[in-house]
Chains A and B, each alone.
Chain A
Amino acid sequence: MQEGRPLIDWVWISSNPDDILERVLQHIQLTALPLVLGFLISLALAIWALRQPRIYTPVIALTGLLYTVPSLAAFAVLRPIFGLSLLTAIIPLTTYTLLILFRNIVAGFQSVPPDVLEAAEAMGYTRRQRLWRVQIPLAVPLTIAGVRLAAVTVIGLATVASILGDAFGGLGQFITEGLQQLFPTKYLMGAALSVALAYLAHVLFVRLEKAVTPWATARARGIG
């Protein structure tokens, strides 16, 4: 251990609660925006792909390509264009969610067994009723799984955004500043909180998944 300053400076932590809270809230915002945007775009793309199956492969190729672009590179390239505005962070973070969300939403709809769809049609469901009462409920588990993965991914990548400047805030800011100031408490705090946030999101979505799909867990719980 280095002399002088301890690894964890509890005094600094306890004297900066407002700072910490603000960074956490910024991080949540930095995650939620791309997630919502990405979800809306992916949903639209998925609905399109379900009606027009031939666009599935090109969309996967395109979103896959976007997913391949390293986050640091994306932030770096967008910075000269949008400056240090929120857009520079939001755009790449949104594009990273597309592949995961699109693929999972489509897979969710594909997971509806054909015999179930046929039964629904034969019983006189209209197209709309079939969509809302059969397809969407059954697509929910895989969709939420996709949102969970996307959320966790974005929480992680959002920390990287602050490497390029302090305009985006979030927990990455603690890390970057801490490294620059050689102040371990600060960067460790940023790292620990981002891990905690990602884990929390993971648990939250796993719970949500179980809560909205009682039929999937009924057998596991051994009711039968």
Chain B
Amino acid sequence: MVAPVGRAANPGRTLNRVTSHGGNAATVEFDHVTKHYDAVEGKNGTPGAVNGLSLKVPAGKICVLVGPSGCGKTTSLKMVNRLIEPTSGRILLDGVDASSRDVIELRRGIGYVIQQVGLFPHQTIEENVATVPRLLGWDQSRRMTRASELMALVGLDPGKYARRYPSQLSGGERQRVGVARALAADPPIMLMDEPFGAVDPIVRERLQNEFLRLQEDLAKTILFVTHDIDEAIKMGDLVAVFQLGGTVAQFGTPAEILSQPASDFVTRFVGSDRGLKRLSLFRVSDVALETVPTARVGDPVAPALAKLASHPFEYLLILDHENRPLGWAHRERLLLIEKITPDLANPSSPVLDRRTTLKDALSQLLEADVQAGLVADRNGALRGVLTVDRIADFARLQSISPLAQDGLDED
């Protein structure tokens, strides 16, 4: 539910007109950046060193830094907003050396989301979200308006959440607040350090999808740290695979990483199910959906049975009055009744988001032990049905074979 967000920071512009490359975004460039630590080994929490990092993230793209722990991903991220100062090298934001800017002002222009969220426990959600606007000296009413917009943007009802304290929220809700807070002053750059690492897989999937949807409108330049290769493939326009010693083993698109791993390390890090992982490159929305016979609650049964008769499928999909799918009913169950009722529906099929990767979709279908998943739009209304067969057909078309190991299947 993306509410239109008035760009308080830049009057006259609205988020709606921002397209994927024309938003408020900046390029981020690492230029031979090195960070060494003096011998403080063995202590917990020592950040990884970085060695001669050079990479360029175009404006409006998500660049995922992925790799095993201690390989310098987080260090690289924190050098952008200068929580850590590099030993040598430069970091250029829109061509300007970060070290030449006032550090406080620099940080206020960069969104920052971390795994532990770091919400202020003594402030309400509203105050937390409005943190940077307050630092920037916005007046009270403008701050509160902005906070409400952002809470709605990340899917939290402002009326319900504005006056709560962080301790009263679930992990997933806190993470949304963290994202809203980072977006408050409409920063051109966002740094996200394992932002969805502390929530369970189902919530994580949802937060990832929602964030990707947000990013379609926001088009920020985002540096995103994770140790999860699946998350990297899903979230990244670009992926930088870090290896121990603080160097980048490979920098490229997710498809390149999967199809042409640059080294044994990358091959091993990506894992043996590389072929299957390539399903993560595609989303539910990339596949042509199937249409199946449907009927709404309250409809007479007869026309529905007629539809079923002319269709190879033996099941009728029952929808509520807002076209939200309720579940399946077998043909035989419809024989002796007159009207469609909700209790006929068997809700065994998972409901899939259009941003869910095909790999996740497939695994959800297999897990639920069903052949078909329901694809719904933002309001939960039915868009179509995705079957295991369709995914298989699609994979064949894309030359994705679960057995492919060496990238030779790439066209």
Residues of A near B167 (CB, < 8 A) are: 215-216, 218-219, 224
- Measured between C-beta atoms, what is the minimum distance from A123 to chain B in Å? 5
C-alpha gap A215/B162 in the complex (Å): 13
Q: Is the CB of B135 within 8 A of A125?
A: yes
C-alpha gap A219/B169 in the complex (Å): 10
User: In the complex, which residues 82-135 of chain A have their Cβ closer than 8 Å to any Cβ of chain B?
Assistant: 113, 115-126, 129, 134
Nearest chain-A residue to B164 (Cβ)? A224
Nearest chain-B residue to A218 (Cβ)? B165
Q: A124-B135, A126-B104, A215-B167 are in contact. Are A118 and B122 (CB under 8 A)?
A: no
| Chain A contact surface mostly | helix
Q: A219-B168, A224-B169 are in contact. Are A123 and B107 (CB under 8 A)?
A: yes
C-alpha gap A124/B109 in the complex (Å): 8
Residues of B near A215 (CB, < 8 A) are: 121-123, 165-167
Residues of B near A116 (CB, < 8 A) are: 118-121
Q: Is the CB of B118 within 8 A of A118?
A: yes
C-alpha gap A124/B110 in the complex (Å): 9
Q: Is the CB of B107 within 8 A of A122?
A: yes
Q: A122-B112, A218-B164 are in contact. Are A115 and B117 (CB under 8 A)?
A: yes
Nearest chain-B residue to A112 (Cβ)? B121
Asked if B341 CB lies within 8 Å of chain A CBs, one says no
Q: Please encode chain B, from 264 to 297, with 1 for each CB lying within 8 Å of some chain A CB and 0 for all others.
A: 0000000000000000000000000000000000
Residues of B near A121 (CB, < 8 A) are: 83, 107
Q: Please encode chain A, from 201 to 224, with 1 for each CB lying within 8 Å of some chain B CB and 0 for all others.
A: 000000000000111101100011
Asked if B132 CB lies within 8 Å of chain A CBs, one says yes
User: In the complex, which residues 162-195 of chain B have their Cβ closer than 8 Å to any Cβ of chain A?
Assistant: 164-169, 181, 191
Asked if B243 CB lies within 8 Å of chain A CBs, one says no
Asked if B114 CB lies within 8 Å of chain A CBs, one says yes
User: In the complex, which residues 78-130 of chain B have their Cβ closer than 8 Å to any Cβ of chain A?
Assistant: 81, 83, 104-110, 112, 114, 116-123
C-alpha gap A216/B109 in the complex (Å): 31
Interface size on A, residues (CB 8 A): 25
CB < 8 Å: which of B108, B116, B118, B165 contacts A124?
B108
Nearest chain-A residue to B81 (Cβ)? A122
Q: Is the CB of A223 within 8 A of B164?
A: yes
User: In the complex, which residues 339-366 of chain B have their Cβ closer than 8 Å to any Cβ of chain A?
Assistant: none
User: In the complex, which residues 117-157 of chain B have their Cβ closer than 8 Å to any Cβ of chain A?
Assistant: 117-123, 131-132, 135
Residues of B near A218 (CB, < 8 A) are: 164-165, 167-168
Nearest chain-A residue to B107 (Cβ)? A124
CB < 8 Å: which of B83, B105, B120, B131 contacts A118?
B83
Residues of A near B83 (CB, < 8 A) are: 118, 121-122
Residues of A near B181 (CB, < 8 A) are: 123
C-alpha gap A116/B117 in the complex (Å): 8
Asked if A138 CB lies within 8 Å of chain B CBs, one says yes
Residues of A near B104 (CB, < 8 A) are: 124-126
Q: Is the CB of B114 within 8 A of A119?
A: yes
C-alpha gap A119/B117 in the complex (Å): 8
Q: Is the CB of B135 within 8 A of A113?
A: no
Q: A118-B114, A121-B107, A122-B107 are in contact. Are A129 and B81 (CB under 8 A)?
A: no
Residues of B near A134 (CB, < 8 A) are: 120
C-alpha gap A134/B83 in the complex (Å): 18
Asked if A137 CB lies within 8 Å of chain B CBs, one says yes
C-alpha gap A216/B166 in the complex (Å): 10
CB < 8 Å: which of B119, B135, B168, B191 contacts A129?
B135
C-alpha gap A214/B83 in the complex (Å): 31
- Measured between C-beta atoms, what is the minimum distance from B107 to chain A in Å? 4
Q: Is the CB of A124 within 8 A of B105?
A: yes
- Measured between C-beta atoms, what is the minimum distance from A112 to chain B in Å? 9
Q: Is the CB of B107 within 8 A of A119?
A: no
CB < 8 Å: which of B107, B116, B122, B164 contacts A138?
B122
C-alpha gap A121/B81 in the complex (Å): 10
* B106, B117, B118, B191 interface centre (most CB from chain A within 10 Å): B118
Q: Is the CB of B164 within 8 A of A123?
A: no
- Measured between C-beta atoms, what is the minimum distance from B151 to chain A in Å? 16
Residues of A near B114 (CB, < 8 A) are: 115, 118-119, 122
Nearest chain-A residue to B170 (Cβ)? A224
C-alpha gap A120/B134 in the complex (Å): 13
Q: Is the CB of A119 within 8 A of B168?
A: no
Nearest chain-B residue to A137 (Cβ)? B122
Q: Is the CB of A119 within 8 A of B122?
A: no
- Measured between C-beta atoms, what is the minimum distance from A111 to chain B in Å? 10
C-alpha gap A134/B166 in the complex (Å): 14
Residues of B near A113 (CB, < 8 A) are: 116, 118, 121
CB < 8 Å: which of A115, A123, A137, A219 contacts B135?
A123
With A125-B104, A126-B104 known, 14 other A-B pairs at CB within 8 A are: A115-B118, A119-B114, A120-B118, A122-B110, A123-B107, A123-B112, A123-B135, A124-B109, A124-B132, A138-B121, A213-B122, A215-B165, A216-B121, A218-B165
The 5 closest A-B pairs by CB, nearest first: A224-B168, A119-B118, A124-B108, A124-B107, A115-B116
Query: Mind listing 8 A-B residue pairs with CB under 8 Å?
Result: A113-B116, A116-B119, A123-B181, A129-B135, A134-B120, A215-B122, A215-B123, A224-B168
